[in-house]
Amino acid sequence: MNKKHMKIAAIAFTVWYIISRPEGAASLVNSALGGLGTAAESFSQFVGAIPS
């Protein structure tokens, strides 16, 4: 499979997952965004702790 087919398959799977399990999809997005927020906060603390 080339990249175009993989991209179409990934989009199709995402649409199918959202339609078949909307609560699960919402939970997955919420967890991912929460993880990104935690990572950003940790990085901010790290940069703040570096002496200038």
Output the pLDDT for position 51: 82
Burial class (CB in 10 A: 0-12, 13-18, 19+), 18: middle
3-state helix, strand, coil in the chain (%, to 5): 90, 0, 10
Cα Dmax for the chain: 52
Give the pLDDT confidence of 1-52 residue by residue, as tens digits: 799 999 999 999 999 999 999 999 999 999 999 999 999 999 999 999 998 6
pLDDT at 5: 95
Q: How far is CA 1 from the centre of its chain?
A: 24
Q: What's the pLDDT score for residue 41?
A: 96
Domain edges within the chain: 22-52
Distance of CA 36 to the CA centre of its chain: 8
